[in-house]
Amino acid sequence: MQEWLNYFEHNRVNRLFIPWEEGANIEAHLRRPLIRSLRRFQVGESGEGRKLRRHAAQTGDPVYARAIELFVREEQEHARLMGELLRRLGAPLLRRHWSSDCFKWMRRACGLRVELLVLLLPEMIAKCYFRVLHDATRYSVPRAIFAQILHDENGHVAFHVEYLRRAFEGLSFTRRIAIQVAWRLVYRATCAVMIADHGPVLRACGMSLKRFWNDCGRVFDETAAGIFSPATVLAPAPILQLVKS
């Protein structure tokens, strides 16, 4: 875990420059669906992660606990960036949303391993979601925000995969398969809800819902392989390998 702590420490001070002075512009056809969608994502990133931090501390590994602390701070930074973009677009922030409340309830009812599996559900989808948003706009401010979040989400998924791979490696083959199948079913249900809720912005970005569904499936396959296949390990995301164009 020391490698991951080093990654988070480096990522904390090496952020992509966001040219706020250029203004928070967005294409006219994206404005309304983007605001509606981004407000809901912003709520989910704004939690304090108290139970997750407590679970990490209970592992007895101070390096992992510190890495989790920095992970939570990155999630809060995402909420801040999205919130600032929304404010500059003239949109009020949501205080809560049922989807965020649902994930919080699921995570609170579980131990660390299951909490991380639940946490990975929106993280995997976010990898596809922020790529779509980034590629759909030509304006520098939203592109930089979405690029930074996408970079961070790639790192988050790989970070949790490494912990879970080690946590599950002692389980029997049958039990590992059962966990993976159940997790896939919950993930696909989550994808369906997300597409139903955020479909307007995906379509406005030129992304077909079928393609987004398939892209999310590929992310799951890669992530699940990293956890349940001993031969597959996801490495830390390269520092700030972001799309700057």
CA 50/CA 124 separation, integer angstroms = 22
**Percent of the chain scored above 90 by pLDDT?**
73
Q: Evaluate whether 127 touches 226 at the Cβ level (below 8 Å).
A: no
At 229, is the pLDDT very low, low, confident or very high (cuts 50, 70, 90)? confident
For 12-49, how does the pLDDT look when each residue is reduced to its tens digit (9 = 90+)? 999 999 999 998 999 999 999 999 999 988 887 666 67
What does pLDDT average to over the chain? 88
pLDDT over 60 at 212, yes or no: yes
pLDDT over 60 at 103, yes or no: no
Please give the domain boundaries of the chain with CATH numbers for all domains.
2-13+27-228 (1.20.1260.10)
Closest CA to 123 of 169, 59, 187: 187
Range of weakest confidence among 71-75, 212-216, 234-238: 234-238
Work out the average pLDDT over 203-232.
92
Q: Which residues of 40-66 are buried (b: 16+ CB within 10 A; e: fewer)?
A: bbbbbbbbebebbeebbeeeeeeebbb
pTM for this prediction: 0.87
pLDDT over 90 at 67, yes or no: yes
CA 203/CA 207 separation, integer angstroms = 5
Q: Evaluate whether 47 touches 107 at the Cβ level (below 8 Å).
A: no
Work out the average pLDDT over 184-190.
95
